[in-house]
Amino acid sequence: MIWLAIAFLVTALLYASVGFGGGSTYSALLALSDVDYRILPLLSLACNIVVVVGGTVRFARAKITPWKGALVLTGLAAPAAFLGGLTPIDREPFLLILGASLLLTGATLLIPNRSGGVGEAKTSAYASKLMPFAAMPLGYLAGLVGIGGGIFLAPLLHLTRWNNARAIAATASLFILVNSLFGLAGQILKGGPDRFAAAVTFGLPLLLAVALGGWIGSLLATRILPVNWIRWATAMLTIWVGARLLFGL
């Protein structure tokens, strides 16, 4: 458990420093540790919530969150995340989807962000029409395998110049938080309160680890390390874990 807690701390540190929760990597680490796959989404979504809630609040207080667009995307994704959490899935398909999600996650982290001021990357009519269609499948995937979905949403928003970089980070943080809450609710209804209690009992040290890692990650991102260095390190970790998971099937 000690090495697993350290791995969770490092994962939370890296993901929080680039504005994400790390749910897919938590699930993969648990799977590689031979933890019952049925409690993986419960623990991963709970860890997601712990990591991103602080960032979501900070973005809101700083008035960075573009509420109109963010609420449309999140509102469409959240019910789908709940349905994903309710969907029964066997171990092999679960691990296959999870491993593929990790590889895609690593690839998206290698895509450079478009930076700029508030006036740059204005929302286009094309992006506004396209992004809601992407939100629902991403929400369903989030609930199904225990991720927030923001790691997939953010690159799409950057590529379509949906908004400026800080507004996209705020939107992704809210997206992850709400999807994780709805996905967790679906997972609890599917597995019952006893399974959730078992997951929390087993995972309490891991929740404490991600809380600490998330705080350190926010500090590193804002005061110490260049963001690109952290993104590349996060991408390499994610791709490595995903490949190990897929090759182990």
Tens-digit pLDDT profile for residues 77-96: 999 999 999 999 888 888 88
More confident residue, 60 or 241: 60
Cα dihedral across residues 7, 233, 219, 224: positive or negative: positive
48 with 21: CB under 8 angstroms? yes
pTM over 0.85? The answer is no
pLDDT average, residue stretch 187-194: 90
DSSP for residue 222: I
Residue 120 clears pLDDT 80, i.e. is over it: no
Mean pLDDT of 163-174: 85
> How far is residue 109's CA from residue 116's CA, in Å, rounded to a whole number?
18
Q: What are phi and psi of 20, to 5 degrees?
A: -120, 180
The confidence score (pLDDT) of residue 178 equals 95
Give residue limits of the domains in the chain: 2-247
**More confident site: 243 or 124:** 243
DSSP string, 81-147: HHHHHHS---HHHHHHHHHHHHHHHHHHHTSPPPP--TTSSPPPHHHHHHHHHHHHHHHHHHHHHT-
Q: Which of 208, 202, 195 is nearest to 51 (CA)?
A: 208
What per-residue confidence (pLDDT) applies to 226? 65
pLDDT at 116 over 50: no
Predicted local confidence at residue 244, as pLDDT: 82
Compute the mean pLDDT over every residue in the chain, rounded to the nearest whole number.
Answer: 83
